[in-house]
Amino acid sequence: MRTFQIFYLILFICFYLFLSYSAYLSVTRILRVDPVKKSIKIFIAITTLLILFAFFCLYIWPLNPRSMNRFDFHFIFNIVLSIDFAVKTPLSISFIAGLFFAPRRKHVIYIMGLIFSISILISMLYGSIFGTKELDVNEIEIEIKDLPLSFEGYRIAHISDIHLGSFINSKSIMKRAGNKIANANVNLILFTGDLVNNFANETAHWEAIFQSITKPVRSYSILGNHDYGNYSVWDNERNKSDNFQKIIDAHQRFGFHILNNQNSKIVFGNDSIYIAGVENWGHPPFPQYANLDQALKGIPSNSLIILLSHDPAHWNEVIKTRNDIRLTLSGHTHGLQWSISRAGFRFSLSYLTRRNWSGLYKFEDNYLYVNVGLGMVAIPWRINMPAEITIITLKRIEVD
């Protein structure tokens, strides 16, 4: 293990031990009964040691995720660790804050910390147990400049970021998604990448569900940053390449026409539009394989183009000022699987990394829609950020 890795590991352990100890002190300042204080002390000590032991086993040795071909235990542990950190943090802050107040006010501060901790615990448990089962169907209309007449009212189902490995063998949400898409009477299904977390074996035994979704309707897909296998250490390049090819094969096996820097003509009635798809475009460390010029090659001028690009930053930095792409569909952000909603206002920490993190955006005559995904990554929870299916109805704007 390199020196800087050891340094950050020691730093993490020291911070976590301080967090646990200060949280314990905050709680015991409220509960003054000695037997209760002793029980809390034992509980926090045991859980802290168990979490540190599990962290070492899962992220250092022997189950380091970069050497694993499944992440089930890591997902479960990530929930436990995140809840533990989030619950202890307000308690720790209240203890530190209490050091600067008169004794008669300390008790109020400790109680406030406890209230915040309990609120966070409830919201996180809800997000882990129930939030992962929530599914929203968002219906929107997009008015497109010079949309061909036959495509007035044309309906598109947009899905993204399925991350099959994060379902831990549960197929219920994809079955529900299939039923909702079938009931939406759509003309086209577009999937904007991240079929898996990392491995082709995540796609096993899913054919029947996906084919029931894609068989009735023409369906297209692209790759996302997780589909390239770049988040593991491979024994050799051939194994990585084989994994990548099997993921591409899964797209096709599931009924998707995959667009790797390619395009396809969609004929409807007497008119046509083009669906173009690029491979992943993103800021480092996310790989950049997109070739937009190649993806648009052969499309006649003045054609209406809908672009599939996994990372919405691509639209913000490259696409929105172009005159040839009217609608871009993306995913990638997940809305960090967490948001706060109040009086019509919605906020997620995703906003701190990219302005276009969820929903519909417009620049002049061009649109972007960011779907927050069906699956999960890193932590299998959704807190006020349900899985999403977007049903887009195209509307025509005539220009003189």
pLDDT digits (tens, 9 = 90+) for 199-240: 999 999 999 999 999 999 999 999 999 999 998 989 999 999
The model carries a pTM of 0.93
Do 55 and 160 belong together in one domain? no
Position 399 confidence tier, pLDDT thresholds 50, 70, 90: low
**CA 183 to chain CA mean position, Å:** 25
Do 185 and 314 belong together in one domain? yes
The Cβ-side half-sphere exposure at 172, using a 13 Å CA radius, reads 7
Residue 253 dihedral angles phi and psi, to the nearest 5°: -65, -35
Position 394 confidence tier, pLDDT thresholds 50, 70, 90: very high
Do 225 and 318 belong together in one domain? yes
Q: What angle do CA 341, 185, 336 make, to 5 degrees?
A: 25
Q: What angle do CA 242, 243, 246 make, to 5 degrees?
A: 85
- Residue where one domain finishes, among candidates 129, 152, 178: 129
**Higher pLDDT residue, 97 or 7?**
97
Do 208 and 338 belong together in one domain? yes
Do 153 and 121 belong together in one domain? no
Q: What's the mean pLDDT in 381-389? A: 96
Do 9 and 117 belong together in one domain? yes
Do 57 and 153 belong together in one domain? no
pLDDT at 180: 98
User: How many domains would you assign to the chain?
Assistant: 2
| Model pLDDT for residues 23-40, shown as the tens digit of each residue | 999 999 888 778 888 899
Q: What's the mean pLDDT in 114-124? A: 95
Do 245 and 172 belong together in one domain? yes
- Residue where one domain finishes, among candidates 129, 146, 169: 129
Do 232 and 306 belong together in one domain? yes
| Model pLDDT for residues 330-368, shown as the tens digit of each residue | 999 999 999 988 767 888 989 888 889 999 999 999 999
| Model pLDDT for residues 55-96, shown as the tens digit of each residue | 999 998 899 888 888 888 999 999 999 999 999 999 999 999
- Residue where one domain finishes, among candidates 129, 147, 179: 129
Q: Which domain holds residue 121?
A: 3-129
**Residue in the block written with tokens 């172009």:** 322
Bridge partners, residue 318, by sequence: none
Do 268 and 123 belong together in one domain? no
Do 263 and 334 belong together in one domain? yes
Q: What's the mean pLDDT in 147-162? A: 98
Q: Please state the three-class secondary structure of the chain as a single string.
A: CCHHHHHHHHHHHHHHHHHHHHHHHHHHHHCCCHHHHHHHHHHHHHHHHHHHHHHHHHHCCCCCHHHCCCCHHHHHHHHHHHHHHHHHHHHHHHHHHHCCCCHHHHHHHHHHHHHHHHHHHHHHHHHHHCHHHCEEEEEEEEEEECCCHHHCCCEEEEECCCCHHHHCCCCHHHHHHHHHHHHCCCCEEEECCCCCCCCHHHHCCCHHHHHHHHCCCCEEECCCHHHHCCCCCCCCHHHHHHHHHHHHHHHHHCCCEECCCEEEEEEECCEEEEEEECCCCCCCCCCCCCCHHHHCCCCCCCCCEEEECCCCHHHHHHHCCCCCCCEEEECCCHHHHECEEECCEEECHHHHCCCCCCEEEEECCEEEEECCCCCCCCCCCCECCCEEEEEEEEEEECCC
pLDDT at 346: 85
Kindly report the CATH number assigned to the domain that includes residue 140: 3.60.21
Do 104 and 140 belong together in one domain? no
| Model pLDDT for residues 232-272, shown as the tens digit of each residue | 989 999 999 999 999 999 999 999 999 999 999 999 999 99
Residue 146 has pLDDT above 90, yes or no: no
